[in-house]
Amino acid sequence: MVAGERLDFDDGVALLETDDVLALGELADLARRLRGGTDEVYFVQNLYVSQTNVCRVKCKFCAFAATRKQPHAYTLTTEELVEDVLRQREVTGFTELHMVNGENPHVDFAFYRDTIAALHAALPDVHLKCYTASEIHHMTTLSGLTHEEVLRELRDAGLGSLPGGGAEIFADRVRRIIAPGKEPAEIWFHVHDTAHRLGIPTHCTMLYGHVETYEERVDHILRLREQQDRTGGFLAFIPLAFHPENTVFERRGWRHTTGVDDLKMLAFSRLMLDNVDHIKAYWIMMGMPLAAIALHFGADDVQGTVVREEIFHAAGARTETEQKIEQLVRFVREAGRIPVQRDTLYNELRRWE
């Protein structure tokens, strides 16, 4: 790494198998600095929303989705969603709207396109980071359009970027077990590749800590690295620890990943993903104290103020659903770093020296 050589598959497995987590963290922090990283740590002021939790897929790791007949199912109209978001805007000055949904089979493509257009008209200065690759693929099924046609229409309506969800683990073996109704990994890559070529930046993720092996984690990361080599469109990578509560995995004895597991994954990600600038310590999943430690294990972003996150909390996350800017700044400073409020595209909005 120091010599400039890329880490390969065997290197990745060795990193995950090591017990020397502190040395791993030190290496990851060194890698971050060698690639131009500074003491700056980024966050964004954002709002999380979901327009519908009705979903055609029965992913075994998901506690968020519902069928239309279940009492907790909901689908907001475009007008209801815009009204709700505008109310939130009066309370917090978010610059990013992060929206993911279930794959609702009872709506059409216009439902999505018109929602983006209405949100963009109501909030022209807010970046719309909406719809996972799985949702984009679902829209092609609803409409008969191609991925490119769907993405062009959404972009022209005001879509700014895609979140990284739906990646889970790319290995076919794992997808057959945890998400048998979900499209293959190749579809996820085709959507993101198409978005990048249309000038739409995206994010990438990995859901870890369930049935995957270390080898399958390494394969996942290397496939992301290859995609980034081709298009350079990933803004950041977010490792997501599996939350088993209220899922079939809880009944089978699965437990949360440990803090050591989470730190190891962040350091491993930074070392292997040498072409993705930003690695996020997703505090909504791991809690802010651990996210602050993660800033010494290769992470340089703590995500954001994240008002009203639903998906991880449906699966038992007990973190707060909102961090005020002052709290984020304090945690970052106490970790010995410089807090920088950014927009979605990593343009600096404010800093605290």
Q: How many residues does the chain have?
A: 353
pLDDT for the residue 252: 55
| 76 φψ region: left (φ > 0), alpha (ψ -120 to 50), beta (else) | beta
Using alpha carbons, select from 17, 66, 13 the residue that is nearest to residue 218. 13
First to last CA, the chain: 31
Radius of gyration (C-alpha) of the chain in whole angstroms = 19
CB neighbour class for 284 (10 Å; exposed up to 12, middle 13-18, buried from 19): buried
- State which residues of the chain have pLDDT below 70: 1-4, 58-65, 243-256, 306-323
pLDDT for the residue 311: 36
Report the run of H or E that residue 302 belongs to, with start and end: strand 301-304
pLDDT for the residue 155: 98
Phi/psi for 50 (5° steps) reads -135, 130
The pLDDT tens digits of the residues spanning 44-54 come to: 999 999 999 99
**Which two structure tokens, joined as six digits, stand for 320?**
């707060």
Provide the H-helix boundaries in the chain: 9-17, 21-34, 78-91, 109-122, 133-143, 147-157, 172-178, 185-197, 214-231, 248-251, 259-272, 283-286, 288-294, 311-314, 325-334
Indicate the CATH number for domain 9-346: 3.20.20.70
In the 8-state DSSP scheme, what is residue 139? H
By the 8 A CB rule, do 196 and 202 touch? yes
Question: Partners of 236 in the beta sheet?
Answer: 278
